[in-house]
Amino acid sequence: MKAAVLYGKEDVRVEEIEAPALKAGEVRIQIEVALTCGTDLKVFRRGYHAKMIVPPAVFGHELAGLISELSEAGAQAGWSVGDRVVVANSAPCGCCFHCQAGQENICDDLLFLNGAYAESIAVPARLVGKNLLLLKPETDFLDAALVEPLACVVQGIDDAKMRSGQHVLILGAGPIGLMFVALAKALGCKVTVAGRRPARLAAARSLGAAQVIDIGDGADLVSKVRAATKEHFDVVIEAVGKPDVWEACVHLVRKGGTVNFFGGCPAGTTVTLDTTLIHYSDLTLLASFHHTPRTIRRALEFIESGVIRAADFVDGECGLSELPGLLKSMTAGNRVVKTLVRVRN
């Protein structure tokens, strides 16, 4: 089968590879839809991700498709060839301290699945057991493929205890920032978005943001937001992943408010925060990572109830052979939100 293989820094090649034979408990998914993700771009630039993917390895992790082959145990588990499914990009062990505490997102032994940019993928038994979900007949594969990033956003919203009536500031209007807009709006929050690209800000508006703030080159973020709005923000979400934006958050949230440092910054970076401000303003600062089997299921409910639709986030399309070129052009500054990768011609 054809697959995109990550070899290292800015080195992804589309090759003919052997589809691995299924092991006990595994199922094979014929991939109908694969989506690009911000994490892919980070990994492409760096050449690896210590936790998620170590090259050489088949690349990509957002997918939906049809079960095309079952191991015996897979069949016993109730799956059938032809089932329309989505699978998450990881599954927790279920036994470690954090899993037992209900924090499966930080499981000590998360098993990651890569290989969405391929004609098919063998799903390990643990993922089949924990994070393989059957789609409703009317659910579009393209919508379903949003489950993984959306589950991370559901995690972020739950962690920040966001609720109806709150005023929420979202910093960043990439795919994740935009998913926060859609879910916060669905929850009944009043949403303001600060971002850099007019097309993204227009997307935020159409998803229901009450106000959008163009922060231009990103310099003087705090004064630009303050000049644009007198709103007191109950919750501030950092969806950029830059230390200076993390630092700005504590100056933009109201007294007694909550900041979720959602965007992961480059390894080794640090931030400087005003301790007096944090203490006397009684701020709650937190960070969310990844998803759990529960938030994966919540995410699919949001998709299947029509709250989240791929049409609002997927703005590009390419064939598998064009993927390396697309990743290069994204590295050079071509900022599509998400691209549908057609794995078969």
Residues that bind Zn ion (CB under 5 A): 37, 39, 92-93, 96, 99, 107, 149
Contact between 113 and 20 (Cβ < 8 Å) = no
N-to-C CA span, the chain: 12
Q: How far is the CB of 299 from Zn ion (least distance, A)?
A: 12
Q: What are phi and psi of 69, to 5 degrees?
A: -160, 145
Between CA 315 and CA 303 the distance in angstroms is 18
Q: How far is the CB of 34 from Zn ion (least distance, A)?
A: 11
Taking alpha carbons only, the member of 15, 110, 1 closest to residue 56 is 15
Q: How far is the CB of 274 from Zn ion (least distance, A)?
A: 33
Q: How many Cα atoms sit within 13 Å of 224 on the Cβ side?
A: 18
Task: Tell me whether residue 63 or residue 194 sits nearer to Zn ion (CB atom).
Answer: 63
Name the CA dihedral angle for 327, 156, 112, 104, rounded to a multiple of 10 degrees.
Answer: 170
Task: Tell me whether residue 87 or residue 213 sits nearer to Zn ion (CB atom).
Answer: 87
Taking alpha carbons only, the member of 189, 61, 74 closest to residue 117 is 61
Q: How far is the CB of 31 from Zn ion (least distance, A)?
A: 15
Q: How many Cα atoms sit within 13 Å of 190 on the Cβ side?
A: 9
Between CA 64 and CA 85 the distance in angstroms is 6
Q: How far is the CB of 220 from Zn ion (least distance, A)?
A: 31
Contact between 228 and 211 (Cβ < 8 Å) = yes
Residue 236: CB atoms within 10 Å: 28
Task: Tell me whether residue 81 or residue 96 sits nearer to Zn ion (CB atom).
Answer: 96
Task: Tell me whether residue 55 or residue 218 sits nearer to Zn ion (CB atom).
Answer: 55
Q: How far is the CB of 37 from Zn ion (least distance, A)?
A: 3
Task: Tell me whether residue 41 or residue 228 sits nearer to Zn ion (CB atom).
Answer: 41
Q: How far is the CB of 123 from Zn ion (least distance, A)?
A: 16
Task: Tell me whether residue 39 or residue 120 sits nearer to Zn ion (CB atom).
Answer: 39
Contact between 235 and 258 (Cβ < 8 Å) = yes
Task: Tell me whether residue 125 or residue 221 sits nearer to Zn ion (CB atom).
Answer: 125
Between CA 114 and CA 134 the distance in angstroms is 20
Q: How far is the CB of 309 from Zn ion (least distance, A)?
A: 17
Task: Tell me whether residue 142 or residue 248 sits nearer to Zn ion (CB atom).
Answer: 142
